[in-house]
């Protein structure tokens, strides 16, 4: 069974291990790993050419990388129909999505955020149906900004410095909801999916990693 772009393999209850061979000619990176084999295939691990991946029951492993992935198990069709004990996902490589940019800030999120170019940094929001006013505070400074109705992107206020380790809080004025962000600046960010995934894992920018994986899956 040959799987392209996005592949998922489910193991039947009676199966314990399945070999999955990735025939690849470039870097493939583990981006998500859950289950007994998570220590063997931790997020951020780069796999060499023709790596053989063995999954146990309960494993879920997602890769980003180019090439054709083959699930080598005698009862693959039965397994996919009968159970979900183990899963293997492969996201085909490509360029990092630009809309919304991976390196912009989702104003509705919390945690570490990787910043590639402070001079071009934007704030964006997933829901742009109505106007919304926000207050941004940190480092002893604060600034207000407003999303117009139908507008989902704003330039980061020039008066608020973007530095490695900076901490800011975004307060949504109408609802009072608060989101806290910690900035991690990166130089020369990779434009390919495997490289970007490795960087985000290394820096701990989990939300952006999820965005990267979800965007790659939707593009399949």
- C-alpha pair distances (Å), 169 with each of 2, 111, 122, 140, 200: 47, 10, 15, 11, 21
CA angle in degrees (0–180, nearest 5) for 98-88-79: 140
Question: Average pLDDT of the chain?
Answer: 74
Of residues 107 and 12, more confidently modeled: 107
Averaged over 11-18, what is the pLDDT? Answer: 30
Averaged over 66-76, what is the pLDDT? Answer: 47
Q: Which token pair is 72? A: 């080598």
The pLDDT value recorded for residue 17 is 35
- Strand, helix or coil at 120? helix
Averaged over 206-213, what is the pLDDT? Answer: 87
Q: Which token pair is 13? A: 């209850």
Is it the case that residue 185 has pLDDT exceeding 80? Answer: yes
The pLDDT value recorded for residue 153 is 93
Is it the case that residue 203 has pLDDT exceeding 80? Answer: yes
The pLDDT value recorded for residue 66 is 65
Averaged over 38-43, what is the pLDDT? Answer: 84
The pLDDT value recorded for residue 75 is 34
Position 220 confidence tier, pLDDT thresholds 50, 70, 90: low
Q: What is d(CA 28, CA 35) in angstroms, rounded to the nearest whole number?
A: 20
Is it the case that residue 13 has pLDDT exceeding 90? Answer: no
- C-alpha pair distances (Å), 136 with each of 65, 140, 149, 171: 37, 11, 19, 6
Q: What is d(CA 44, CA 96) in angstroms, rounded to the nearest whole number?
A: 17
The pLDDT value recorded for residue 52 is 76
Tell me the percentage of the chain whose pLDDT exceeds 90. Answer: 39
Is it the case that residue 167 has pLDDT exceeding 70? Answer: yes
Averaged over 84-101, what is the pLDDT? Answer: 48
Is it the case that residue 85 has pLDDT exceeding 90? Answer: no
The pLDDT value recorded for residue 211 is 85
């Amino acid at each position: 069974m040959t799987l392209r772009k996005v592949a998922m393999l489910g193991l039947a209850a009676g199966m314990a291990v399945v070999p999955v061979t990735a025939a690849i000619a470039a870097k493939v990176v583990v981006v998500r790993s859950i289950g007994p084999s998570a220590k063997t295939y931790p997020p951020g691990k780069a796999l060499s050419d023709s790596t053989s991946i063995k999954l146990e029951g309960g494993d879920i492993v997602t890769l980003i990388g180019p090439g054709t992935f083959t699930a080598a198990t005698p009862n693959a069709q039965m397994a996919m129909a009968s159970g979900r004990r183990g899963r293997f996902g492969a996201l085909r490589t490509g360029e990092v999505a630009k809309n919304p940019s991976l390196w912009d800030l989702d104003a509705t999120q919390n945690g570490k955020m990787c910043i590639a170019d402070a001079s071009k940094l934007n704030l964006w929001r997933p829901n742009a149906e109505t106007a919304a006013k926000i207050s941004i505070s940190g480092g002893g400074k604060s600034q207000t900004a407003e999303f117009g109705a139908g507008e989902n992107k704003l330039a980061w206020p020039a008066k608020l410095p973007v530095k490695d380790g900076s901490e800011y809080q975004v307060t949504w004025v109408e609802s009072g909801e608060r989101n806290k962000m910690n900035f991690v600046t990166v130089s020369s960010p990779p434009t390919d999916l495997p490289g970007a995934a490795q960087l985000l894992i290394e820096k701990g920018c989990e939300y952006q990693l999820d965005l990267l994986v979800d965007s790659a899956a939707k593009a399949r």
